[in-house]
Structure 1
Amino acid sequence: MNDELLIKYIQQTCSESEREQVRLWLAEETDHHRLFELEELYALKTQMRYARPARSEQAYERLLHRLHAQTPETNNRTTASLHLQPTSWKTLFSYAAVVSILCLLSANLIFLAQGEETAGTEAYNTIRVPKGQRVSVTLSDGTNVWLNAESQFSYPSQFKGDRRQVHLQGEAYFDVTPDRKHPFMVQLPSLNIKVLGTQFNAKAYPNEDHCITLRQGSVEVSTPNGKHLQKMLPKDQIYYRKSGKWEHRTQTNAAEASDWINGGLRIDNLPLHEFLPDLERHYDVEIHIQDAAIQDIPFTCHFKNGVDIKEALELLKATKQIDYIIDMKDIYLYKFHP
């Protein structure tokens, strides 16, 4: 496999035929996937800006310090590749250290479960993304998954059997590799999704409303008890409320649902108390409503990548509906008084 083609695949600049060529190559041998993991770490331009620069650089220095004492044999566990982008990478590592690099980098930048969980007969890895962070992972079949802050995602090191089963609590965007003989199944806290090959966003944090947005292809969404089942078309949205209410919307702006991938945060006519959990996850803060009169005030706004928490609060304050006080990571919201 040509290295230049791998880098084009990582940077999403290759054609559809080249993309399929890489996916077929990845599926051939485990060693191919490990080499691809290294290529992803070394790419001149990774796909997203997920990790905070200071945190990334600290992890990188720890990695350099520890790599000299480790060999591939000490960390030979197969894993999917994790993409986290610091502001800059220094000198490239040696190919012999690929597995060690993946394990150490994962441990420093996100929480990747050290032990393996079992679901049926397959061994599962679990990724836990902290508040204020985002991460992407490429699964063994070539499927790409982007994970939002405070998400937990479990997946097998290698898919086996007649289906590709994963588990999600939180928010993720999926670009699923087509395989009609092996449907891709996503188990959420209150919904199940069946996929053949498609792109969609799933937001399913525990104890919150679930929302599935389809961008391309087709998926089938159902409740575990079978009461609700819906085949979705592009631009469809399914809302499953905590109350048990099922809503099917058509002709939505599917691209907006995954705006968080690029570091943005979009609020569309939501009452204050409903979107505060998104603000808390996005900025790694705790927000406290001090005046019950403001909790149902609706807001519509779009915070672009790079907008910090103070700038976001100033935008909300500009509506002359709320005011705020920041105390370290705690934020207190009050009714606005001129």
Structure 2
Amino acid sequence: MRKFTFLRKKIQAKDRALQEKLVHHYFDDLQLNQQPEAGENAGFDSKEVYNRIINNIDAMPVKRVGAGKKWMVAASLFAVASLSVLGFYNRIRILDIVSPIAQKQFSTVNGQVASLTLADGTKIWLNGGSKLSYPEAFRGDKREITLTGEAFLDVAHNATKAFIVHTGNIRTQVLGTSFNVKAYPEDSFVKVDVVTGKVGVVSSAAPTVFLTPAQGVTIVKKNHSAIIAKSIDVAALSGWKDGDFIVKNMPLPEVLNAVKHRFNVLIKADANLTKCSISANFTNVSLQNIMKIIAKLVKGKVTPDGTDYQLKGKGC
């Protein structure tokens, strides 16, 4: 009798080891650790499912249920778990097909600054000549929008749903913070400056850059190089949303582009002037006087060219 008891215990231990191996193999095949993080309404717990499967298997009487029937029940449990997992991770795709969320666009013309509030409470200000694409509501574990131009964002905090701003092949990701993004198509760069919180800027061909308040990064589109700036004047960089027009050590091409989007006027400059940088406060200054100040700072002369301007000079 003792030998039989020992043999039975040995078989049960071996049987349980096989059960655990199969369950682990099942979850490995699903690659649950590689799945995206679930949203706040997520209800699936892989450990709980695992324990439930093992408990159900162990709860079966050894004498009444044969090995074949036992594994048939286990297979059924696996099937149920499989459906639960697949249903959980594909529910967003299914909802997108059955009940798609409308995509919206919001844009501004040169000379215009406008604001809007997204479904999650995020507030966005768009500078002149900018366009924003966004969903009517956010679904899943991400909040994603697409920006062309310049915007200041005050993102509503949500620890379970990252907020992502796409600008070409560069994306800026946060949970809840305020920052400025400049990504006009004609610019040779994408610039991100942080006012509050922490921001991650991801480029397809460069390491992720993490920024904290008063820090900024300029990513050159041509080679994806990143230039990080510290102790920046965030008030000057984001003051445009409140009507201010302040430039600090800004390259002339960027200044002229800012003038274009603010006053809807094109300014052409000689190539030898492009290396100049300007610092000035143009708030409440007329376009004509701004042009005179810029010409003086670059040791040049500005002349009207139809509705546009031509800037010539020796350079800095």
For residues 105-120 of structure 1, what are the structure 2 equivalents within 5 Å? none
1:263 aligns with 2:253: no
Q: TM-score w.r.t. structure 1 length? A: 0.59
1:153 to 132, 144, 155: 132
CA distance in 2, matches of 1:320, 1:176: 38
Name the residue aligned to 1:324. Answer: 302
Aligned length: 216
Higher-Rg structure is 2
1:223 aligns with 2:203: yes
- Cα gap change, 1:193/1:271 in structure 2, threshold over 3 Å: closer, same or farther? closer
Q: Deviation string for 1:208-266 (max 9, x for gaps)?
A: 211111111112111135x3202221111111013321122222222221011122222
CA distance in 2, matches of 1:127, 1:220: 24
Q: Is the 8 A contact 1:147 1:171 kept in 2?
A: yes
1:203 partner SS: strand
2:213 partner SS: coil
Name the residue aligned to 2:176. Answer: 197
Deviation of 1:318 after TM superposition, in Å, equals: 3.6
Q: Deviation string for 1:107-146 (max 9, x for gaps)?
A: xxxxxxxxxxx9x953211112101111000111111000
Name the residue aligned to 1:241. Answer: 220
For residues 1-338 of structure 1, what are the structure 2 equivalents within 5 Å? 121-208=100-187, 209-225=189-205, 227-243=206-222, 244-289=224-269, 291-304=270-283, 306-319=284-297, 321-335=299-313
CA distance in 2, matches of 1:279, 1:219: 28
Deviation of 1:158 after TM superposition, in Å, equals: 1.3
Q: Is the 8 A contact 1:284 1:329 kept in 2?
A: no
Letter in 1 for 2:136: S
2:297 partner SS: coil
Name the residue aligned to 2:71. Answer: none
Q: Is the 8 A contact 1:193 1:220 kept in 2?
A: yes
CA distance in 1, matches of 2:120, 2:267: 40
Q: TM-score w.r.t. structure 2 length? A: 0.63
Q: Is the 8 A contact 2:103 2:133 kept in 1?
A: yes
Letter in 1 for 2:308: D
Letter in 1 for 2:118: L
Letter in 2 for 1:270: M
CA distance in 2, matches of 1:232, 1:121: 34
CA distance in 2, matches of 1:199, 1:146: 11
Letter in 1 for 2:113: R
1:258 partner SS: helix
1:228 partner SS: strand
CA distance in 2, matches of 1:228, 1:307: 41
Name the residue aligned to 1:106. Answer: none
Deviation of 1:300 after TM superposition, in Å, equals: 1.6
Deviation of 1:201 after TM superposition, in Å, equals: 0.7
Deviation of 1:293 after TM superposition, in Å, equals: 3.3
CA distance in 1, matches of 2:156, 2:274: 42
Deviation of 1:203 after TM superposition, in Å, equals: 0.8
State, as a whole percentage, how many aligned pairs show the same letter: 28
Q: Is the 8 A contact 2:273 2:298 kept in 1?
A: no
Deviation of 1:274 after TM superposition, in Å, equals: 3.6
1:256 partner SS: helix
Q: Is the 8 A contact 2:237 2:247 kept in 1?
A: no
Q: Deviation string for 1:25-62 (max 9, x for gaps)?
A: xxxxxxxxxxxxxxxxxxxxxxxxxxxxxxxxxxxxxx
Q: Is the 8 A contact 1:151 1:169 kept in 2?
A: yes
Q: Is the 8 A contact 2:302 2:310 kept in 1?
A: yes
2:102 partner SS: strand
1:122 partner SS: coil
- Greater helix share, structure number: 2
Q: Deviation string for 1:172-205 (max 9, x for gaps)?
A: 1111111112111111123111111111111111
- Tell me how large the CA RMSD over aligned residues is: 2.3
2:152 partner SS: strand
CA distance in 2, matches of 1:249, 1:296: 19
Q: Is the 8 A contact 2:111 2:262 kept in 1?
A: yes
- Cα gap change, 1:251/1:294 in structure 2, threshold over 3 Å: closer, same or farther? closer
- Cα gap change, 1:329/1:238 in structure 2, threshold over 3 Å: closer, same or farther? same
Letter in 2 for 1:234: P
Gaps of 5+ in 2: 1-96
